[in-house]
A = this chain, B = another copy of it.
Amino acid sequence: VSGAPLAIIAGSGSIPVEVAEAARAAGRRVFAALLSGAARAEDFAAFDSQTFGLGQFGALKTAFEGRGIAEVVFIGGLVRPGLADIKPDFGAVRHIGAVIEAFRKGDDGLLSGILAIFESQGFRIVDPLAVAPALGADRTGPLGRVKARGEAGAEIAEGLAVIKALSPFDVGQAVVVESGRPVAIEGAEGTDGLLARVAEMRRSGRLQRDGGGVLVKAPKLGQDMRVDRPTIGPATIRAVAEAGLKGIGVVMNGVLIAEKAKTLALADELGVFIEATP
């Protein structure tokens, strides 16, 4: 609801504060709930904010209710916690069984379990791109000045097909396609690890020096679009260039772009394309 207060449960990275700024620019009163060890308080100095440990669901709920908050955005990075990292407060204790159950089900399961707890308490989880659409790939075609050429279009399609095929599994949403075949698929190592591996295969000669290739990032089929969206940013552009890839294929409205202006300028500078498909 435009104008209604909004809570942002913030993990690491620049995206949470960007979403907070976009929400405020759209006329919303923002409360930033910073996850301890992930979000930095100084980044949110301009916002009403408070830091919470994992498990302080009772305190979080009290803070939200005191501000009349019904809508919540989950955004930013969070290293998958161990069960021991979660110190439940009094308000969280009754949900502990559900959290333990969720932990058994991998990242997807953990996240859905936590969202279900918030929803059971009357909060609505909002897609960050609904709050800040300009932070995504908000149109199709090349987002910067560099265009995808030659086989890149077919390779993006191949990468999207791999991500689609892996949708039933709780596994990465990124793949590198080169010379017409997938050469690296993201697992628990994350996109940084994936791109470092491609760079290493390039150095060792396992991938050809001038192979080109593309990084494809897209949400899985059936993914909860309100959380855990694939993200790219300046570090992705640099790693793509270092891995000897020609560019990045994304899906329109499917990924978040951290520091978008900087990311696109860097992509132009390094000759990396960012191509959004419908």
Could you list which residues of chain A lie within 8 angstroms of chain B, going by C-beta atoms? 79-80, 82, 104-108, 158, 161-162, 165-166, 168-172, 176, 179-190, 193, 197, 201, 206-208
* Chain B contacts for A166, CB-based, 8 A: 162, 165-166, 185
Determine whether the beta carbon of B201 is less than 8 Å from that of A197: no
Closest to A187 in B: B184
Known: A162-B169, A165-B165, A188-B207. 15 other contacts (CB 8 A): A79-B206, A82-B208, A108-B181, A161-B169, A165-B166, A166-B185, A171-B185, A172-B185, A184-B189, A189-B197, A189-B201, A189-B206, A190-B206, A193-B197, A197-B197
CB distance from A24 to the nearest CB of B (A): 34
Determine whether the beta carbon of A169 is less than 8 Å from that of B182: yes
* Chain B contacts for A104, CB-based, 8 A: 179-180
Determine whether the beta carbon of A158 is less than 8 Å from that of B162: no
Out of B107, B169, B207, which one reaches A165, CB within 8 Å? B169
* Chain B contacts for A169, CB-based, 8 A: 158, 161-162, 165, 181-182
* Chain B contacts for A170, CB-based, 8 A: 180-182
Give the top 9 A-B pairs by smallest Cβ distance, nearest first. Answer: A106-B181, A183-B188, A170-B181, A184-B187, A185-B185, A171-B182, A165-B165, A183-B187, A185-B187
* Chain B contacts for A179, CB-based, 8 A: 104, 106
Determine whether the beta carbon of B180 is less than 8 Å from that of A188: no
* Chain B contacts for A190, CB-based, 8 A: 206
A-B contact pairs, 14 of them (CB 8 A): A82-B208, A106-B179, A158-B169, A161-B168, A162-B166, A165-B168, A166-B185, A170-B181, A171-B182, A171-B183, A176-B187, A187-B197, A189-B201, A193-B197
Task: Tell me the bound Cα distance from A104 to B193 in angstroms.
Answer: 27
Q: A165-B166, A169-B162 are in contact. Are A107 and B181 (CB under 8 A)?
A: yes
Closest to A107 in B: B181
* Chain B contacts for A106, CB-based, 8 A: 179-181
* Chain B contacts for A187, CB-based, 8 A: 176, 182-185, 197
* A79, A170, A187, A197: residue with the most chain B Cβ atoms closer than 10 Å: A187
CB distance from A61 to the nearest CB of B (A): 29
Task: Tell me the bound Cα distance from A201 to B80 in angstroms.
Answer: 13
